[in-house]
Structure 1
């Protein structure tokens, strides 16, 4: 499922169930549109809380937790847009049989209505503001569940033709119930039930802009596939917030896992400066659906900066298998490259992978695509990508130029927040 499938599907179902409850002669009025958009905003908020739960079946439905978070973000944005229209235009007509589900005094009904709009705006603005330090952003964002309750109370207390026992009421009740369960799980149960294990930091290699961590399990490790990621939370003051990082190693018999981390944000910089061997950490994993196209006649792996992490894991996975049909293109800044291009080239050569370093000089990426197309049918070339959005657009442009189908591109979204 793609994010727009979710957004349009919910809007369609909500619109149909609401229109059933009102006279057809009033369908083309601003009041009807306000009612539909208000109900849809509530449905979007409920679904957003559900997606934030990180339940496995939700990740499977969207094909990866990165896609889940993309849908989560756009649901919040459209909920605010729809709620703005609903807030301005009255969602009621005299022709409708409108009654509140819960009868409250007008003062409280009006107050909850205004608070619900403020709550939604606050949730979305906090979620999209990248200037807020991660430690503060995360705790503010935890309020999404309790604030969602205010929006539900607004729905229950204002006059509308939506009753709990009609199609629209049942639909909204179902979504709100699932949303509340998801919010409750994420707030209270996730830290206990989703933890893959406790780990000890066994090796640290810190550089100016990057960090390499090796962790070993205190008791037992967890099973994962090369290319997946985990949420890492060190049990130290200021480092307890779970943060997503790609696992930069293949599954090991002793449960050891590694992370290659670029120290760019406030959390990762603090992690680089404070982490030491012997520290304990909780790991929540595994997540992600970024997989190799093992049956492809020709593979091209494109990594941008710290996006090299899943490909390091692929290079380590099943080391007995040769990958002579694969080319790894590493796009990096020489002053920030970690591991170095020389280290990656050595790892690639051991697996038979052709290594190409793109350090801002000659456009090796373009030459790699042209070389691959000259030797292989473009329809048979599979592209795996992990890196920033700008580089992703460049890859898509090269694929169009070389007639490589868009469906042959496999990528993981680089940013969660």
Structure 2
């Protein structure tokens, strides 16, 4: 949230500077306040939406600053939601026109900027287009926040976002005060809109991720459990290799689009990777039936910063996996095979529904056996074994520094983080995957 605080703060300061430069006005203070509230809410709305459109391009140069592409996606999502929220505020301020007319009258209104000829016609068009654009944006925002709305139709509707954004950008450029373009507020706004238009055009042309996307081939499909499918693929030509713990965007069905799946295998230079996919929706439930060896598949990546190479080897390691969140740790353990001396001291906690029937338990034991520094702890919910912060840290002294690497359900992550906070473990870092498609 500090990132958004900086963005909103910069926009607010630029707007505030422009207000200070305004000449004295004879208009009524309430009419002036309404106008500036419209400008500020509109500035925030188009600024955050521009940011959302740019982040949708998956800019690799920002992965380090954000801590991974999963967090860039999260920032993209919340920038869009916040931009839509400011759009609602902008619309409400616009609707306050009638309230002011009925309370203080028309006298003292702020004079409108006059524009003649083509510019005047374009400003009228921008006003009309902006109104419809805001209605469409609010409808899409409502559908996005309605978690029960099916993913596939949501994804189809979401494709309209670049067009809606371009309409609103046109509205903003034409209706922003002309004085803005000679002030910092206009420079900031122009930069954001240029970045947003760049993102919108790439989305419409379908070139996002093109440089890291290629055609691979499915080599094998297995189903180790009723709700798990293992897919082995030959990577595309030009694949740059991956670090243990990274993910790729995989398109098995063009109609369904790309989905992020963690790569469950280490990179051994044999041009193959493996995914372990849990049935969490209609698409993933159908994969065991739909996928066959020899099928073509689009693979884009790798992305992500949940990497074995980023752990701090100077502090105690606590690795926590919940359900299918075990996949990055499978890649980590796979990469450590044959290098026991290079393996860090770590406690790996795996949380599962039923430890007696989970196929990952046997695999984890086999991978940990030649790595004596990695201690495996399995917690089965049906066996009454639930993980909490005290259990994670039971082998660590109160003063010992450490870090937790977590991949699993959000609820478990929140429980562990709160538990660490309650225990006063301020020297305990917490690293977590944060990838959500909506």
Same fold at TM > 0.5: yes
Match of 2:394 among 366, 371, 383: 371
1:376-387 → structure 2 map (5 Å cutoff): 377-378=399-400, 380-387=401-408
1:92-131 → structure 2 map (5 Å cutoff): 94-95=109-110, 98-99=113-114, 102-104=119-121, 108-131=125-148
Alignment length (residue pairs): 413
The equivalent residue for 1:54 is 58
SS at match of 1:290: coil
> 1:256: how far off?
0.8
What RMSD in Å do the two structures reach over aligned CA positions? 2.9
Q: Does 1:16 align with 2:16?
A: yes
CA distance in structure 1 between the aligned counterparts of 2:4 and 2:144, rounded to whole angstroms? 19
The equivalent residue for 2:152 is 135
1:18-417 → structure 2 map (5 Å cutoff): 18-20=18-20, 22-23=22-23, 29-90=33-94, 94-95=109-110, 98-99=113-114, 102-104=119-121, 108-158=125-175, 160=177, 162-190=179-207, 193-206=210-223, 207-217=225-235, 219-234=237-252, 236=253, 238-239=255-256, 241-292=257-308, 293-322=311-340, 323=343, 325-334=345-354, 339-352=359-372, 353-360=374-381, 361-366=384-389, 368-374=391-397, 377-378=399-400, 380-405=401-426, 408-417=429-438
CA distance in structure 2 between the aligned counterparts of 1:56 and 1:312, rounded to whole angstroms? 25
> 1:388: how far off?
1.4
- Of stretches 394-403 and 381-390 in structure 1, the one that deviates more from structure 2 is 394-403
Choose 1 or 2 for highest CA Rg: 2
SS at match of 1:231: strand
1:365/1:71 CA distance change after superposition, 3 Å: same
CA distance in structure 2 between the aligned counterparts of 1:340 and 1:65, rounded to whole angstroms? 26
CA distance in structure 1 between the aligned counterparts of 2:151 and 2:292, rounded to whole angstroms? 21
1:96/1:331 CA distance change after superposition, 3 Å: farther
Displaced runs of 4+ in structure 1, greater than 6 A? none
Q: Report if aligned partners of 2:166, 2:200 keep a CA contact under 8 Å in 1.
A: no
> 1:119: how far off?
2.5
> 1:210: how far off?
1.4
CA distance in structure 2 between the aligned counterparts of 1:357 and 1:365, rounded to whole angstroms? 13
CA distance in structure 2 between the aligned counterparts of 1:97 and 1:31, rounded to whole angstroms? 10
SS at match of 2:121: coil
Q: Report if aligned partners of 1:305, 1:331 keep a CA contact under 8 Å in 2.
A: yes
> 1:354: how far off?
0.7
> 1:105: how far off?
7.2
1:2/1:223 CA distance change after superposition, 3 Å: farther
TM-score (normalised: structure 2): 0.84
Unpaired segments of 5 or more residues in structure 2? Answer: 98-107
> 1:131: how far off?
3.1
Q: Report if aligned partners of 1:345, 1:355 keep a CA contact under 8 Å in 2.
A: yes
- Of stretches 139-148 and 288-297 in structure 1, the one that deviates more from structure 2 is 288-297
> 1:201: how far off?
0.7
1:154/1:367 CA distance change after superposition, 3 Å: closer
Unpaired segments of 5 or more residues in structure 1? Answer: none
1:324/1:73 CA distance change after superposition, 3 Å: closer
